[in-house]
Amino acid sequence: MKILVIAAHPDDEVLGMGGTIKKYTKAGDQVKILIMATGIHARRSDKNKNSTRYKVKKTITTNMKSQVKELQKDAKKSAKILGVSDIEFKNFPDNEMDTVSSLKITKTIEEVIAKFNPEIVYTHSPHDVNIDHKIIYNSTITATRPISSKVKEVISFEIPSSTEWNFHQIFSPNIFVDITKELQSKLDAMAAYKLEVRDFPHPRSIKALESIASRWGSVSGFHFAEAFSLVRSLKKSI
């Protein structure tokens, strides 16, 4: 079986479903990770301007390019821990995907789907404070519309430090995956992201990720679990 994971930024794939990815690869399934944005450029500070379209100092630009390369190296190391060798980066602007044509984003996803031909696609939840996450969700839904796609299931995941802070629209999962045996791989994969992992009580800390997995496990009857929301499923028979 082929599974495509569409994430906005490097580390989203681990935060959202690192244990489930490991579960798939252990079972012999083929997993591809698609990272849409750089995950770096929104962090610069140059006269309070926060866009790749603005002119910034050359030293800042050079440093950001170096950080992007380093982050992508970490992403590959992380993916390897999860058993994934197929990871692709598209380098859309970080936290500014609303400045890009939705058609361009959708077409980019469509091209990857047409080439990889996945049966299941995982992506972000629309109930999220991050603009890139919302846009990736909307473009993924468009790219996987049944009339032009062979994708059988579309499933969304949460991103700790983003989804839970969208207080008025809450992520409401209806799929729970037991990752008790895969939890350590998820934590190791997150630790590979040197620029992204944070200290507790930040949601992207190792301790917090273990706590989140424990919480969903208590909801679903497992020791540790990851939670998902089924967007749609197409079945010829039951």
pLDDT in tens, 12-39: 999 999 999 999 999 999 999 999 998 7
Q: pLDDT tens digits for 136-161? A: 999 999 999 998 788 999 999 999 99
The structure tokens listed for 223 are 């020791």
**What pTM value is reported for the model?**
0.91
pLDDT mean across residues, the chain: 90
Sequence-ordered alpha helix ranges (H) in the chain: 12-26, 58-81, 102-116, 131-143, 183-191, 206-220
CA distance linking residue 70 with residue 26, whole number of Å: 27
Distances 234 to 37, 111, 113, 146, 238 between C-alpha atoms, Å = 29, 21, 17, 8, 10
pLDDT-above-90 percentage for the chain: 76
Each residue of 207-236: pLDDT tens digit? 999 999 999 999 999 999 999 999 999 988
Mean pLDDT calculated for residue range 193-199: 89
Beta-bridge mates of residue 6: 34
| Of residues 156, 30, 43, the one with CA closest to residue 82 | 30
CA 151 to chain centre: 18
Question: Coil, strand, or helix at residue 225?
Answer: strand
Q: Pick the closest to residue 67 from 42, 97, 86 (CA basis).
A: 42
At residue 61, the pLDDT reads 57
Cα–Cα distance for residue pair 163/44, rounded to 1 Å: 23
Taking phi over 0 as left and psi of -120 to 50 as alpha, with beta for the rest, 48 belongs to: left
Q: Worst-scoring range by mean pLDDT, 52-66, 118-132, 136-150?
A: 52-66
- pLDDT at position 40 is 62
pLDDT of residue 41: 47
Region 46-64: mean pLDDT is 53
Task: Let me know: does 111 contact 146? Beta carbons within 8 Å.
Answer: no
Q: What percent of the chain has pLDDT over 70?
A: 89
**Sequence-distant (≥ 6) Cβ neighbours of residue 111 within 8 angstroms:** none
Query: Per residue in 118-156, is it b (16+ CB within 10 Å) or e — as a string?
Result: bebbbbbbbbbebebbbbbbbbbbbbbeeeebebbbbbb
Nearest to 8 by CA among 145, 149, 152, 161: 161
Domains and CATH numbers, the chain: 2-233 (3.40.50.10320)
pLDDT in tens, 90-105: 989 998 899 999 999 9
